[in-house]
Amino acid sequence: MEKHLDKKIEHVTDKLMKESSIEKPSFNFTDSVMQSVHNIKASHITEYKPLISKQGWIGIGLAFILIMYVIFTNSSSQESGWLQTINFDRLFDFKFMDSLFSMSVSKTVMYTILLFGVMLLVQIPLLKNHFDKRFEV
């Protein structure tokens, strides 16, 4: 049943292919397409808009200046400054780093990490070269 249907579809397709003619574009097709491409404004396509506007940068700068002003003008008249109220002992507490270096890792994990690093170092220049060639004019 399916073979009969396939043959029928093939027969109809062959008949349509014989009856149809090859379509050809008009004589000035390429010229008209290129003319329409040249009419497009290039500056409209590649318009540059910064991620942070000038007003945004002004706001960030004013906020930074305001924060610095508040920090330096609110210092107390005591001998101990605001830097001495911060507990710096937590910065030098390396319990996490000590536990990190005391871990044991199997050879399989080490080989996997090493292979991943090598493949990353190989693929970055290859991908950069690929995209540089792709976007060349």
**CA 40 – CA 47 distance, rounded (Å):** 13
Which residue from 28, 27, 24 is spatially nearest to 36, judged by alpha carbons?
28
Torsion of CA 68, 70, 75, 81, to 10 degrees: -40
The pLDDT-based confidence of 102 (bands split at 50, 70, 90) is confident
More confident call, 8 vs 92: 8
- The whole-angstrom distance between residue 69's C-alpha and the CA centroid of its chain comes to 38
% the chain with pLDDT above 70: 73
Q: Which two tokens mark 54?
A: 């000038």
pTM of the model: 0.28
pLDDT in tens, 62-75: 999 988 887 777 65
pLDDT in tens, 7-38: 888 888 888 888 877 778 888 888 888 888 88
**CA 40 – CA 43 distance, rounded (Å):** 9
Contacts of 82 (CB under 8 A, 6+ apart): 71, 75, 76
